[in-house]
Structure 1
Amino acid sequence: MTTDETGATAHGVLRLPDRILFGDGSFSAVAVEASRLGSNVLLVCDPFLLDSPELDGILKELASLNVDVTVEARVVPELPREHVEELIAAHRNSGADAVVAVGGGSAIDLAKLIALGLSTIGALDTWYGENAIPSPVLPVVAVPTTAGTGSEVTGVAVLTDPDRDLKVGISSPYLVPCVAIVDPLLTIGAPPSVTAASGADALVHAVEAYTAAVRPADWSAQLPVFVGRNLLSSPLALEAIRLIVPNLARAVRDGNDLDARRAMAQGSLLAGMAFGSAGTHLSHAIQYPVGALTHTPHGLGTGLLLPYVLDAVLPTCVPQLAHISEALGLRESNSEAAARAAIDAIAGVFEEIGLPSDLRSIGVTDADVPRIVELSLTVKRLVANSSDTPTPELIGRIVRAALDGDRARPVSEETNDQNRIHA
């Protein structure tokens, strides 16, 4: 299998919106872009935007373009399946031919799910997993107000199913929005806690896309949604890391630091573009059961877990971590030292923005570890993207290290030998 100098396969896959608009003031393009897609728009937004001048401006401009609009602001965290299906039913006969999403990741994911529900027949669980959606859904214009999820450019929507012990994802190229509009000015109002958790998730997206497994492409078959580290995703992921690491703490400390907000918005966008095809891996897989158990923000969990994941898989991705170290301007004597310096730098950013550093502090106990390991391994689209073989032993070692906040936990010689074989 041919690879390039980054270790990425010498082929690439990107699945992106038809148009991506980025920059200060780009929000003013929302109405025009929506009017190109339909004449009856369902606008999904976070509740706090209902009385905002931004939303008022969109509604007035859509009216001037003779576009009918229905506003749906019943966005809730974690998106329970029943709630999403109720909203789909409520808008089933609306005649909507396009959906606009303005808000955080939950608002954008809700818009995707409603677009799916209005385009298909059947319960949402029909489409769980990868590539189950049979045909295109209603077109979506996605406008994020946080710098973190990357949902505006990915084909993934996540919700909570009470019949399951962890969040579930619906993944399909048909869920990629038609238009993404990323205006850094919209992120200025985000509070420090939201900025920290969403920014941490953006960094995890970029790092996991850059350290994901190298996977061969079978062009004669339907590709998985997450195809692994590749020639096109890797430069995007590395640039995202270069932007996010020096700017995340700045954005958390001073929400009006526009340079930091711009860097974070761009970094989050690039990270979404990267992981939308390359995928994420073990931090996300483990966070699913951890988040369901502790009811903590997704980005908090993925950020907490990432240093422990990278410590565990380091022997299988030293070159990639060394490239990250170089991109961050770190200078070390050899590749392994550079790789460890990159992990320490990432962990340092998370510490600086106030993320908890161990699972006990968010309510996980020793008794929870076996079930977390078991459930993590069921998230196959993510664990299959790990650069190291995702055994129960590997996942258990990561979870136990994170439980105790022990990044110095020794790795057995047997495990090191196995890792070098897989590298």
Structure 2
Amino acid sequence: MTLFAAIRLPHEILFGKGQRHALPKVAARLGKRALICTDERFAATSTFAEIVNALEAEFVEVLIYDAVLPDVPQETVAVCVADARAFGPDMVIGIGGGSCLDMAKCAALLLSHGGRLQEYYGEFKVPGPILPIIAVPTTAGTGSEVTPVAVISDSERTLKVGISSPYLIATTAICDPDLTMTCPPGLTAVAGADALTHAIEAFTAARRGSDHALAQDHVFIGKSALTDHFALLAIKLLGRSLEKACRDGSDEDARADVMMGALAAGCAFGTAGTAAAHAIQYPAGALTHTAHGLGVATMMPYVMNYNKSTSAVEMAQIGSALGLGNQNQDAEQRATAAIDEIRRLFAAIGITPTLAELGLPADKVDWTAEQAFGIDRLIKNNPRPFDLDAMKRLVRAAYDGDFAASAI
């Protein structure tokens, strides 16, 4: 096989304890007026007040939009942009969880190109560069600080929708693990499990060739040498520290590992893409109104078991990244051990083990499978192909908790 690699990343990534203090100088290089997108909770903290004061001390005028809601309802983006247009920002700073970062991306898009957000749903609909974005995550999960996608909710649609374009990648990502120290155990678990799922799905994604047009025609292009590097780094860091961070939120080393793991996972899936676990979560999440990370993590072991017959070598490598000492076993045995470790880890941090316990109605199992099967950009990225019957069997197995049936 000819070596092939592709990756899209921010111009600058700053990671480490205290790196949030670099924000004022980073912002000052981009302009003099900054729109800040955050949520009500973080806006009320002393840390946020310190950030704003530091920006103003660097002669960066700020306009604060502190009403970001989970899943970014599309109508709220229009409100944010209407408030900001007269201010004329030179940049948009997103500070908070994934929704705050996605709001910053959407606001920068509409401030740059106008129109309605719905005009940009899908891939490559953004016509050109947008205002510079500085992404400052306060949770470790979505990887939105480095990805080319913004996920929003639209009241006219059952499922969440995405805007995917390389133009949405932040100019600078500033990742300071100290900002995650007060993240409660439940959120730490769900966000970290989301990141681990990103990494696993990116590493086991379909390999879709090396045609020069691939990355020009698609935002998410399957696995490659560079995305594999970041995915395995994420798996290693999250595998060794996610459980620790959930158990003891004051463990600085564990917090740093988990945040770097989420960042690396974002670097991987931002180009490689995700697959079946995400496809199933979109309808399941819409019906159960549960956190995205919880839904994808619930599905991940079942999807790994389904894919094992075609991805045993990759899953054996996942086992090695997780620190499993089973090198004398064959690839299938090592793959099985890797899946078992993911199941153990997710159980240890409180991830719901079945779609039934997630709250999916029994009469919506087939509907969930049908909707998931229709999300082509994710299904075509899965290493083992699906037909509708196979998808229905997988969703049913995850609903019943019949792990063995998920491999059929």
When normalised by structure 1's length, the TM-score is: 0.93
Could you say which residue in structure 2 is the equivalent of 1:259? 253
Question: What are the within-5 Å matches in structure 2 for residues 126-205 of structure 1?
Answer: 126-205=119-198
Residue 286 of structure 2 is aligned with which of 275, 282, 292? Answer: 292
Structure 1 residue 48: Cα displacement: 1.5
Q: AA paired with 1:263?
A: D
CA contact (8 A) 2:199 2:235 kept: yes
Q: AA paired with 1:392?
A: L
Instruction: Judging by fraction of residues, say which structure has more helix.
Output: 2
Distance 2:230 2:261 in 1: 9
Q: AA paired with 2:11?
A: D
Q: AA paired with 2:65?
A: E
Question: What are the within-5 Å matches in structure 2 for residues 54-69 of structure 1?
Answer: 54-69=47-62
Q: AA paired with 1:374?
A: E
Superposed CA offset, 1:102-150 (max 9, x none): 1000100111111111111221111111111110111100011111110
Residue 375 of structure 1 is aligned with which of 365, 368, 371? Answer: 371
CA contact (8 A) 2:224 2:272 kept: yes
Could you say which residue in structure 1 is the equivalent of 2:203? 210
Question: What are the within-5 Å matches in structure 2 for residues 315-330 of structure 1?
Answer: 315-330=309-324
Question: What are the within-5 Å matches in structure 2 for residues 5-404 of structure 1?
Answer: 10-220=3-213, 222-330=216-324, 331=326, 333-404=329-400
CA contact (8 A) 1:217 1:227 kept: no
Q: AA paired with 2:252?
A: L
Tell me, what secondary structure is at the counterpart of 1:119? helix
CA contact (8 A) 1:37 1:97 kept: yes
Aligned Cα root-mean-square deviation (Å): 1.3
Structure 1 residue 39: Cα displacement: 1.0
Aligned residues: 405
Q: AA paired with 1:242?
A: K
Superposed CA offset, 1:269-311 (max 9, x none): 1111111111111111111111111000000000000001111
Distance 1:379 1:115 in 2: 27
CA contact (8 A) 1:289 1:376 kept: yes
Could you say which residue in structure 2 is the equivalent of 1:408? 404
CA contact (8 A) 1:166 1:292 kept: yes
Q: AA paired with 1:28?
A: H
Distance 2:298 2:229 in 1: 25
Tell me, what secondary structure is at the counterpart of 2:113? coil
Structure 1 residue 378: Cα displacement: 2.6
CA contact (8 A) 1:365 1:403 kept: no
- Higher mean displacement: 326-335 or 393-402: 326-335
Distance 1:42 1:358 in 2: 41
Q: AA paired with 1:387?
A: P
Distance 1:236 1:362 in 2: 30
User: Given the superposition, is the C-alpha separation of residues 410 and 311 from structure 1 closer, same or farther in structure 2, using an over 3 Å criterion?
Assistant: closer
Structure 1 residue 411: Cα displacement: 4.6
| % identical aligned pairs | 45
Superposed CA offset, 1:392-423 (max 9, x none): 122212211110111121755xxxxxxxxxxx
Structure 1 residue 267: Cα displacement: 0.7
Distance 2:370 2:117 in 1: 24
Tell me, what secondary structure is at the counterpart of 1:216? coil
Distance 1:42 1:153 in 2: 19
Could you say which residue in structure 2 is the equivalent of 1:418? none
Tell me, what secondary structure is at the counterpart of 2:67? coil
Distance 2:181 2:47 in 1: 13
When normalised by structure 2's length, the TM-score is: 0.97
Structure 1 residue 371: Cα displacement: 1.4
